[in-house]
Amino acid sequence: MTLLSALLGFLLLAGRGGAPQAIDLSTYRMVDLTHAYGSRTVYWRTPEHGGTHLDAPLHFAEGNRSADQVPLEQLIAKAVVIDARPQAEKERDYRLTREDVLAFEKAHGRIAAGTIVLLRTGWSRHWPDAKAYLGDDTPGDASKLSFPSYGVDAARLLVEERRVAALGVDTASIDYGRSTDFQVHRVAAAQNVPGLENLTNLDQLPATGALVIALPMKIEGGSGGPLRAVALVAR
């Protein structure tokens, strides 16, 4: 038995007759088996915000949780995928609206507290072409970036009213590319909600029902960290 099959066997517990049943995380005690990376770790400290990564609340809210302090319950949770591809195809700098979220809920039900919300724009198809993905590839200049993401009103609804666990997106930031004030980051960070950025393969997930496991490198005091994010989807 491979490690992966053993993990899947544990996560997808067999019910009566061998039929899979959903995990109820409340029946488990989560134990963190990882040392935090820090100044005394025998390892060179790596960049925190490259590739698929987590933005910790500390990144935009001094004194809030760092990468090693984000609770596991916010990193292992059921997910919903909001599809904004049609809007993003028409407007490169599209920002998800409150109305978009409410329309999603009308079709799929109210987003439960503790859910990881993933925004699908289709942008990962441009990876790793930096100019196509970011809108501009001028070294050291972020003034011309252009890509879709969350709008502040949608973020407030999700973070403050729905109390979601995390915001994820298949672009470079949970704020849209032309943002200069990073309000979505600030709204999320104020409530200790992390961001999951540069995700991919969101097209392989259903609108509801997937389980996401998004565990960042545990960098002590880090404002973020490289992320290995996976999703479990029922067959």
Q: Which one is catalytic: 53, 59, 108, 185? A: 59
Q: How far apart are CA 164 and CA 154, in angstroms?
A: 12
Question: DSSP labels for the chain?
Answer: --HHHHHHHHHS-B-GGG-B----GGGS------PPB-TTSSSPPPPSSSSSEEE-GGGTSTTS--GGGS-GGGTEEEEEEEE-HHHHHH-TT-EE-HHHHHHHHHHH-PPPTTPEEEEE-SGGGGTT-HHHHHS---TT--TT----EE-HHHHHIIIIIS--SEEEESSS-SB-TT-SS-HHHHHHHHTT--EEES---GGGS-SEEEEEEEEE--BTT-SEEEEEEEEE---
Catalytic residue status for 53? no
Please list the active-site residues.
59
